């Protein structure tokens, strides 16, 4: 099967690229090694829409951050993604550090970030009643925000699929081999699901983007998995802060932030620890206590007791600390989308467009007339009026049945998530799309019910239901006395 | 709008006993709202025996115990809505003191119910792995003991074959035995505290009888396995519960079960504005088991976590009777004379937290837990600084709830009552 474009990786960058490419008259495939979209860096990050003052002026990172931030409203409207521009604050504790804020402010202005200003203690205290007594100054960026990274990625994928893009999961690309055929230059991709062919390859392989890149280019790149650990607190703690609050940035990144999530939880993290294993998403006691210690320096009274989960994600840190996007010089037709670390999520809308324009340009592709930019989200019946909700249940009783009590997720929403393309096939897939299992009991009560629904909808035995694909089966067999 | 005199939130042992006693006390309009597909609550998955020793003087399984109450509720023709989730409880805006219960189910859709009194009986949930900040990977194979119990006993499936258990709460101990009987190898139970959180009889019958080691002052320090659990490492902890380097022991296994505490499910209660105790995580109640919101009563594990369902039934029956008195207008409304019970010197909390002798029935039952393991200790109650009860206990432990019954006449004998204190004393 010859595709015009194969995108390696169904993270937020790959899916954004797929959606933007699906505007063109092209045969597109997204090949993903995991069982679902949003299984790597995209699922475990700060879920922040950065304003854009951090990146060095003149870099692609700075440009795409500011562009992505600007595009986020429209993208989230079209794709029905939760997004809230709550504003961000970089706080500091001494007058000396104020100069760092001024540097950031100047950098932000050069990058084109609007409405930045420095606020003093009194105004800051009013904006954030729980700042510690030592906290003196803050850089306020009203364009900073929070977004749901799971929905953004799934929405990009669904909209791409609705416009003709195909997805293959559990498909690990082992080797990319450029070759010349009668039809011109063609890439042969050896995968865990057999051979695929494409005229253009987009390398959005995240932590593996260096491996893929280095197979076709003599200009080698190197990506380091940089781990970040987080604590997530219950919704009862979600209003402890009102903005995204950062400490002063360090050489390793933007530091441990404290922020409400778009769903009303409180998130603190990340750490920044360089590791070797591109799948080393384990937390360590040391990192988890570092998260607690650092966040407490500038925000008082964080209700750590309300922690409902901790997790770690890996940033794909390229040695040059810069996005590498574009056709690789010594390998025509091979488009890199590599080194996408923070602010990658913010930049995703702009990255998608840039990659799509590059790939479409190589193929001289034309835009389709019937591209539909709108994706309807999974209906949350809680947002309906009581009358409309009643009407919905009379049409579709499954919306009257609460499966996840912590997040009030109905069976109807879970069925919707499973029946979509690409749809949920595991507990985590359902969780990321509907929030079932994401609440304070962390799936203790709902997982047996969600397993039943998955089993019924997918037509597979309960024993085959996994947490997140592969060997992550929930149960190992039947009781002794049954069957 | 639909109306009822008493809405009971939850059709487990607490909700059923409360509804039954309210009905027997003469209230004819009661509605039980249950989120699951059948009545009985968590007892349905507790297929082991040992229930009902106090109530029925015989040993029943969980489903059998529940069935006795379900049968009674049916005989008394108490209506129950199943598969019904209560979304919110709020005070009616008309100042009547009625409560508006909004619930959801497949048959009726979204319904608003006006109730004069509400009995909270939503039970509790288990503390999940995330709340314990256990480091390591997050693969499949990590379950709370209750989730595993549901999979094994209700669904008929084994969550794993080789098991490590963290926490020695009763469900964890019961599951150690259950998994063993189903052919799994339970390698060890690790408990963070220097004492078990479960009942002594469960340690004997579920661990000792099967040769399963219980390692006190131990916790999990690492979980390996990217897709499914491959190994769990435990280590000894110091007095501050910090793991001691060099004491690590690694167990190859496919499952980690957690039995690390139960948390009353009080999201509805908090949203209603009832005062929540930071110690029990349940609503604060007075001697009538009424919360700080008049006409809203609480009982069972939503109020405070119990060890024995027999005590849940007792407590719930009392809540039911008091709710009936409330809707019949027989309950004193004034909070004058309310006295806050002081729990001190090893007593972590008491339920009720507030006692008003004027409103008391003939007796009041004080339930509490101690903060550590004590031997040959005295439980004492003081009224206005004068000791009215001094009871020797050979052993008192956090895993076993303590009960003291006080008579109304003891209170009446004290003039101008100002303080009630419950404490442990060495002599």
Judge whether A73 lies within some domain: no
B296-311 mean pLDDT? 97
Cβ contact A307–B130 (<8 Å): yes
Contacts 24+ apart (CB under 8 A), A445-451: A445/A404, A445/A405, A445/A406, A445/B125, A445/B147, A446/A403, A446/A404, A446/A405, A446/A406, A446/A409, A447/A474, A447/B147, A448/B147, A448/B150, A448/B151, A448/B154, A448/B155, A449/A403, A449/A411, A450/A403, A450/A404, A450/A414, A451/A427
Cα separation, A281 vs A314, in Å, equals 7
Stretch (H or E) spanning A241: none
Query: Minimal Cα–Cα distance from A412 to chain B, Å?
Result: 11
Asked if B130's CB is within 8 angstroms of A480's CB, the reply is no
**Contact residues, chain A, for B107 at CB < 8 Å:** 397, 400
Percentage of chain B modeled with pLDDT above 70: 100
Rounded Cα gap, residues A352 and A323, in angstroms: 13
Show pLDDT as tens, one digit a residue, over chain A (483 residues): 899 999 999 999 999 999 999 999 999 999 999 999 999 999 999 999 999 999 999 999 999 999 999 999 999 999 999 999 999 999 998 888 999 999 999 999 999 999 999 999 999 999 999 999 999 999 999 999 999 999 999 999 999 999 999 999 999 999 999 998 776 889 999 999 999 999 999 999 999 999 999 999 999 999 999 999 999 999 999 999 999 999 998 887 888 999 999 999 999 999 999 999 999 999 999 999 999 999 999 999 999 999 999 999 999 999 999 999 999 999 999 999 999 999 999 999 999 999 999 999 999 999 999 999 999 999 999 899 989 999 999 999 999 999 999 999 999 999 999 999 999 999 999 999 999 999 999 999 999 999 999 999 999 999 999 999 999 999 999 998 654
Q: What is the pTM of this model?
A: 0.96
Angle, helices A12-21 vs A149-162, to 10°: value is: 30
pLDDT value at residue A183: 67
Rounded Cα distance, B408 and B406, in Å: 7
Q: Closest approach of chain A CAs to the CA of B117, in angstroms?
A: 23
What is the domain-level CATH number for residue A420?
1.10.10.1100
A437 in a structural domain? yes
Which CATH number goes with the domain that contains A25?
Answer: 3.50.50.60
Residue A435's pLDDT is: 97
Predicted pLDDT at A481: 63
Structural domain total, chain A: 3
Complex ipTM value = 0.94
Neighbours of A460 (CB within 10 A): 13
- Kindly state whether residue A15 falls inside one of the protein's structural domains: yes
- Please indicate, yes or no, whether residues A311 and A237 belong to a single structural domain of this protein: yes
Return the pLDDT at A23. Answer: 98
Give the structural domain span for A405.
381-464
At A255, which CATH number? 3.30.9.10
Buried b / exposed e along A364-388 (16+ C-beta atoms within 10 A): ebeeeeebeeebebbbebeebeeee
In the stretch 21-80 of chain B, residues with CB closer than 8 A to chain A read: 35
Question: Which of A468-482, B131-145, B324-338 is most confident?
Answer: B131-145
Q: Nearest to residue B408, comparing CAs of B363, B351, B359, B347?
A: B363
Closest-CA residue of chain B to A285:
B135
The answer to whether residue A47 sits within a structural domain is no
Report chain B residues whose CB lies below 8 A from the CB of A445. Answer: 125, 147
Chain B (267-296) residues lying within 8 Å, Cβ to Cβ, of chain A: 267, 270
Distance from CA of B183 to the nearest CA of A (A): 7
Q: Which residue has the higher pLDDT, A253 or B31?
A: B31
User: Which residues, numbered 245 to 284 in chain A, qualify as contacts with chain B under a Cβ-Cβ cut-off of 8 Å?
Assistant: 279, 281-284
Measure in Å the smallest separation between the Cα of B233 and chain A Cα atoms. 13
Q: Is residue A325 domain-shared with residue A305, that is, in the same domain?
A: no
The mean of the pLDDT values for chain B is: 96
SS3 B272: helix
Q: Rounded CA gap, B364 and B145, in Å? A: 34
Any domain includes A472: no
Rounded CA-CA distance B22/B2 in Å is: 20
Question: Which residue from B135, B156, B243 is facing A288, i.e. has the nearest CB?
Answer: B135
Q: What is the pLDDT of residue B363?
A: 92
Mark which residues 144-183 of B lie under 8 Å from A by CB: 144, 146-147, 150-152, 154-161, 182-183
Q: How much is the pLDDT for A482? A: 53
Q: Please name which of A71, A163, A161, A165 lies closest in space to residue A372, comparing C-alpha atoms.
A: A163
Query: In Å, how far is B230's CA from the nearest CA of chain A?
Result: 11
The pair of three-digit structure tokens given for residue A211, joined into one six-digit string: 């491996």
Put simply, the chain B residues between 204 and 263 with a CB less than 8 A from any chain A CB are: 221-223, 226-228, 243, 254
**B35/A308 CB distance under 8 A:** no
Q: Is the dihedral of CA B214, B219, B223, B229 positive or negative?
A: positive
Coil, helix or strand at residue A22: coil
Question: Are residues A303 and A327 both part of a single domain?
Answer: no
Tell me if A343 sits within 8 A of A55, measured CB to CB.
yes
Contact A271, A229 (CB under 8 A): yes
Contact A462 B133 (CB under 8 A): no
* Cα–Cα distance, A171 to A103 (Å, whole number): 45
Cβ partners under 8 Å of residue A229, min gap 6: A269, A270, A271, A283, A284, A287, A288, A290, A291, A310, A311, A312
Using CB atoms and an 8 Å cut-off, which of residues 350-369 of chain B contact chain A? none
CB within 8 Å of B409: residues ≥ 6 apart: none
Q: Looking at residues B239-260, what average pLDDT do you find?
A: 97
Query: Sign of the CA dihedral A445, B12, B196, B396?
Result: positive
What distance in Å separates the CA atoms of residue B326 and residue B296, rounded to the nearest whole number?
A: 10
| C-beta atoms of B129 and A309 within 8 A | yes
Please name the residues in contact with A387: beta carbons below 8 A apart, sequence gap of 6 or more: none
The verdict on A139 and A228 lying in the same domain is yes
Interface mutation target, options A466, A479, A481, A482, chain B, most CBs of B under 10 Å:
A479
Token representation of residue B264: 């009353």
The tokens of A343 are what? 């602010």
Residues A241 and A114 in one domain: yes
Residue A480 is predicted with a pLDDT of 85
Kindly identify which residue of chain B lies nearest to residue A438, measuring between CA atoms: B130
Question: Cα–Cα distances in Å, from A40 out to A21, A190, A257?
Answer: 22, 21, 21
| d(C-alpha A467, C-alpha B404), whole Å | 47
pLDDT tens, residue by residue, B175-228:
999 999 999 999 999 999 999 988 899 999 999 999 999 999 999 999 999 999
Is it the case that residue B355 has pLDDT exceeding 70? yes
Taking the CA of residue B362 and the nearest CA in chain A, the distance in Å comes to: 39
Do A215 and A356 reside in the same domain of the chain? yes
Decide: B43 and B12 in contact? Cβ < 8 Å. Answer: yes
Looking at per-residue confidence, does A252 or B353 come out higher? B353
> Does a structural domain hold residue A402?
yes
Rounded to 10 degrees, the C-alpha dihedral A45/A50/A54/A57 comes to 120
Q: How confident is the model at residue B359 (pLDDT cuts 50, 70, 90)?
A: confident
Nearest to A30 by CA among A173, A221, A226: A173
Same-domain status, A142 and A260:
yes
What residues in B contact A478, CB-CB < 8 Å?
156-158
Establish if A115 belongs to a structural domain. Answer: yes
Shortest CB distance from A400 goes to which of B105, B129, B158?
Answer: B105
How far apart, in whole angstroms, are the C-alpha atoms of residue B393 and residue B403? 12
Taking only Cα atoms into account, the Rg of chain A, rounded to an integer number of angstroms, comes to: 23
A135 and A259 together in one domain: yes
Of the CA atoms within 13 Å of residue A224, those in its CB half-sphere come to: 14
CA distance B206 to B262: 20
Residue B283, φ and ψ in degrees, nearest 5: -70, 150
Q: Where are the beta strands (DSSP E) in A275-419?
A: 307-318, 324-327, 334-338, 402-404, 409-410
Same domain, A135 and A233: yes
The DSSP bridge pattern shows strands A244-246 and A88-92 to be parallel
Place of tokens 């027997």: B24
Residues A305 and A162 in one domain: no
User: Is residue A211 domain-shared with residue A344, that is, in the same domain?
Assistant: yes
- How many CB pairs lie under 8 A apart between chains A and B? 139
pLDDT at B258: 97
Beta-bridge partner residues of A325: A337
Lowest-pLDDT choice from A396-410, B331-345, B354-368: B331-345
- The answer to whether residues A396 and A446 belong to one domain is yes
B173 — pLDDT class (breaks 50, 70, 90): very high
What is the pLDDT at residue A181?
73
Residue A327 located in a structural domain: yes
Give me the percent of chain B exceeding a pLDDT of 90. Answer: 93
Based on the residue annotation, tell me whether A50 is a catalytic residue of this protein: yes
């Amino acid at each position: 099967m010859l595709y015009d474009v194969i995108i390696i990786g169904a993270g937020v960058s790959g899916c954004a690229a797929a959606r933007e490419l699906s505007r063109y008259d092209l045969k597109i495939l997204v090949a993903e090694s995991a069982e679902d979209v949003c299984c790597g860096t995209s699922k475990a990050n700060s879920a922040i829409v950065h304003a854009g003052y951090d990146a060095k002026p003149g870099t692609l990172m700075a440009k795409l951050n500011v562009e992505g931030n600007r595009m986020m409203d429209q993208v989230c409207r079209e794709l029905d993604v939760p997004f809230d521009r709550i504003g961000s604050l970089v706080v500091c504790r001494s007058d000396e550090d104020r100069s760092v804020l001024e540097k950031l402010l100047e950098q932000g202005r050069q990058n084109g970030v609007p409405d930045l200003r420095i606020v003093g203690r009194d105004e800051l205290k009013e904006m954030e009643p729980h700042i510690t007594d030592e906290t003196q100054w803050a850089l306020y960026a009203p364009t900073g925000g929070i977004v749901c990274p799971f929905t953004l990625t799934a929405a990009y994928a669904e909209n791409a699929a609705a416009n003709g893009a195909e997805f293959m999961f559990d498909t690990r690309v082992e080797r990319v081999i450029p070759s010349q055929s009668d039809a011109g230059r063609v890439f042969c991709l050896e995968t865990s699901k057999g051979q695929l062919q494409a005229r253009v390859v987009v390398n959005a392989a995240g932590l593996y983007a260096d491996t893929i890149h280095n197979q076709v280019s003599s200009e080698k790149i190197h990506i380091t998995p940089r781990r970040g650990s987080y604590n997530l607190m219950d919704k009862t703690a979600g209003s402890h802060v009102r903005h995204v609050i950062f400490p002063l940035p360090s050489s390793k990144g933007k530091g441990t932030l404290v922020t409400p999530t778009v769903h009303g939880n409180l998130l603190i993290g990340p750490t920044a620890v360089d590791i070797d294993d591109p799948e080393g998403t384990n937390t360590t006691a040391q990192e988890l206590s570092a998260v607690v210690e650092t966040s407490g320096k500038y925000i008082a009274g964080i209700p750590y007791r309300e922690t409902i989960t901790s997790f770690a994600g890996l940033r794909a840190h390229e040695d040059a600390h810069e996005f590498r996007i574009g056709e690789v010089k010594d390998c025509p037709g091979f488009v890199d989308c590599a080194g996408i670390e923070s602010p990658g999520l913010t930049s995703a809308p702009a990255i998608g467009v840039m990659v799509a324009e590059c790939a479409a340009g190589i193929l001289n592709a034309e835009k389709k007339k019937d591209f539909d930019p709108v994706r309807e989200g999974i209906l949350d019946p809680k947002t309906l009026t009581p009358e409309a909700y009643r009407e919905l249940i009379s049409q579709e009783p499954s919306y009257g049945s609460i499966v996840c009590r912590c997040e009030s997720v109905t069976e109807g929403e879970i069925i919707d998530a499973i029946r979509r393309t690409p749809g949920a096939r595991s507990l985590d897939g359902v969780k990321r799309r509907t929030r079932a299992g994401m609440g304070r009991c962390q799936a203790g009560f709902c997982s047996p019910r969600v397993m039943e629904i998955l089993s019924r909808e997918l037509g597979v035995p309960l024993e085959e239901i996994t947490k997140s694909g592969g060997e992550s089966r929930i149960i190992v067999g039947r009781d002794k006395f049954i069957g | 709008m639909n109306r009822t005199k008493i809405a009971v939130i939850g059709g487990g042992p607490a909700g059923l006993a409360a509804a039954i006693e309210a009905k027997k006390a003469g209230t004819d309009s009661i509605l039980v709202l249950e989120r699951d597909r059948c009545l009985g609550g968590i007892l349905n998955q507790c297929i082991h025996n040992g229930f009902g020793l106090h109530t029925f003087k015989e040993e029943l399984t969980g489903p059998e115990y529940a069935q006795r109450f379900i049968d009674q509720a049916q005989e008394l023709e108490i209506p129950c809505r199943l598969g019904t989730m209560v979304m919110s409880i709020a005070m009616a805006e008309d100042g009547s003191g009625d409560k508006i219960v909004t619930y959801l189910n497949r048959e009726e859709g979204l319904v608003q119910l006006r109730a004069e009194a509400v009995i909270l009986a939503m039970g509790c949930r288990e503390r999940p792995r995330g709340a314990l900040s256990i480091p390591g990977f997050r693969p499949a194979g990590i379950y709370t003991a209750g989730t595993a119990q549901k999979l094994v006993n209700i669904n008929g499936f084994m969550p794993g074959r080789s098991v490590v258990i963290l926490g020695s709460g009763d469900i964890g101990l019961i599951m150690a035995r259950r998994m063993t009987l189903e052919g799994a190898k339970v390698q060890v139970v690790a408990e963070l505290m220097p004492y078990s959180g479960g009942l002594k009889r469960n340690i004997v019958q579920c661990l000792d009888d099967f040769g399963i080691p219980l390692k006190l002052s131990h916790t999990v320090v690492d979980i390996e396995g990217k897709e499914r659990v491959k190994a769990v490492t435990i280590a000894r902890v110091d007095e501050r519960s910090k793991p001691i380097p060099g004491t690590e022991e690694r167990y190859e296994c496919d499952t980690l079960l957690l039995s690390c505490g139960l948390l009353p499910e009080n999201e509805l209660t908090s949203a209603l504005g009832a005062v929540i105790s930071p110690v029990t995580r349940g609503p604060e109640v007075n001697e009538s088991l009424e919360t700080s919101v008049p006409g809203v009563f609480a009982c069972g594990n939503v109020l405070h976590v119990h060890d024995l369902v027999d005590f849940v039934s007792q407590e719930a029956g009392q809540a039911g009777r008091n709710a009936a008195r409330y809707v019949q207008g027989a309950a004193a409304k004034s909070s004058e004379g309310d006295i806050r019970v002081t729990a001190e010197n090893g007593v972590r909390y008491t339920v009720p937290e507030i006692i008003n002798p004027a409103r008391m029935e003939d007796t009041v039952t004080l339930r509490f837990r101690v903060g550590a393991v004590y031997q040959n200790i005295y439980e004492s109650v003081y009224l206005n600084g004068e000791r009215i009860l001094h009871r020797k206990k050979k052993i008192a432990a956090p895993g076993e709830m303590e009960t003291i019954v006080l008579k109304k006449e003891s209170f009446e004998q004290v003039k101008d009552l100002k303080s009630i204190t419950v404490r442990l004393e060495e002599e």
